[in-house]
Structure 1
Amino acid sequence: MKSDETVAELLSAYGRTYAEEAGITLRDKPAPLYQLLVLTVLCSIRIKAEIAAGAARELFAAGLRTPRAMADSGWRVRVDALGRAHYVRYDESTATALGRGAEFVLDRWHGDLRRMWAEAGGERGQLAGLVQEVPRIGPVGAGIFCREAQAVWPGLRPFFDERSCATAKELGLPHTARGLGALVRPEDAARLAAALVRVGLSRGAVRELQVA
């Protein structure tokens, strides 16, 4: 399969971003950007992405869509929402991390993550470092946030982390951020990055694309 055909198949079959799966209509606005941060926290432990996305939907359905709402919510409200999504084993510690993280975002960036991006000065490495100041988020989580945020922050494009680049290499595609970015329209970079991560998590999908 040629590179353009592989990319077309990736976008068609696997190109749903994780923000979309979590019910986030991502825009360059404080509330949806914070919701992406919540999803990032939920994905930052060893748990299936679909469970993390489901947990995000439960938290948002409970009204916890902004850092102020999250900070003002009771710990039990957060635990119960996570429990409804079967986010087990980590529900109590994650509920605590979400509360602390909301307070941090309010104190540091007045609840508006666009201030975080401005503080990074358009530098990806700086942004990744700032994201990791949020409780529970490490390097992998920072990669998740940046992968998805490039959909609304053009200055981040193209952003492909190690996980997406590794899958691209297996599929015979360019395996650098610049090389992968050249394969799609800028606005589709986030979808391609998500697709590569989804495929990388499914060995069957990798084999199917390799032999197609």
Structure 2
Amino acid sequence: MPRNKSSDISARIQTVINEYGHGPLGKTPMAGREPVPWPLKASPEVILAMVLDAMIKSRPISHDLSQRTINHLIEVGYHDIDKLHASTWEERTVVLREGGYNRYREQAATNLGNLADFVVKEYDGDLNNLLEAAGGKRDKIEILMKEIKGIGDLTVELFFNNVQAVWPSIAPFVDSRSLKTAGDVGIGSDIEAIYVALQRDPEQMSWFANGLSTIRLEKRQQDIY
């Protein structure tokens, strides 16, 4: 960052975090509830919930509807791999419909089943084992994640926004759409410089990425100036 602009950019970064940011799963029923600790830890349930969140939010539906859907998936316990894996396709379609997710419901039910099968068969029910298999390397994690049917580039990016808070080797990360937003609000796209401004805190980086997403979705770019 140019020295004469660094304080202004740092102030904008803090505005993004303080006014628009939120922690991973911070808008879901998991926030601050037992048995999930807060701040979040990298439990199998937390990581799976982050994947569910990314899968739903990567579809072209409204932000409010996708949030309602992920909240309902968590309410019925689908972030528990045993419960998700035991569910039938018909049960998953009902749960998705109850969450308000209709347009892509049948495909989403299939994708959730594929996810459960993959996690159980390949990683013993715990995606932390995927992290270990990838040696903590972001590019390798991306390759392994895309082996799951229904997960593409955008899903992985949204997952990385959140999971960096509990898988620090992912940080610093901001999804490509939100990185453009960072440029639009005068912060710039130098992720490493942003990370330094945040004292290399992976959790703060996650708050920042989520804050940029909120700004983009709510079209609040002008409010950062």
Is this a same-fold pair by TM over 0.5?
yes
Deviation of residue 158 (structure 1)? 0.9
Q: Which residue of 2 aligns with 1:19?
A: 25
- C-alpha contact 1:124 1:156 (8 A) present in aligned 2: yes
Query: Which of structure 1's runs of 4+ aligned residues deviate more than 6 A?
Result: none
* Runs of 5+ consecutive residues of structure 1 not aligned to the other structure: none
Indicate whether 1:84 and 2:98 are aligned. yes
Indicate whether 1:158 and 2:172 are aligned. yes
- C-alpha contact 1:59 1:78 (8 A) present in aligned 2: no
1:107 is paired with a residue whose SS is helix
TM-score (norm 1): 0.91
Quote the sequence identity (%): 25
Q: Which residue of 2 aligns with 1:201?
A: 217
* Runs of 5+ consecutive residues of structure 2 not aligned to the other structure: 1-6, 32-39
Q: Which residue of 1 aligns with 2:16?
A: 10
- C-alpha contact 1:42 1:52 (8 A) present in aligned 2: yes
Number of residue pairs matched? 209
Cα shift readout 1:36-82 (whole Å, capped 9, x = no counterpart): 11111112211123322221221222232222211111222211221
Amino acid at match of 2:168: P
2:25 is paired with a residue whose SS is helix
1:2 is paired with a residue whose SS is helix
1:111 to 91, 100, 125: 125
Amino acid at match of 1:95: A
- C-alpha contact 2:182 2:189 (8 A) present in aligned 1: yes
Amino acid at match of 1:96: T
Cα shift readout 1:175-209 (whole Å, capped 9, x = no counterpart): 12212212214130100011112112232x10222
Deviation of residue 24 (structure 1)? 3.3
RMSD between aligned residues: 1.7
1:122 to 136, 153, 166: 136
* Residues 125, 152 of structure 1: alpha-carbon distance in 2 compared, 3 angstrom cutoff: same
- C-alpha contact 2:23 2:206 (8 A) present in aligned 1: yes
Amino acid at match of 2:153: P
Amino acid at match of 2:216: G
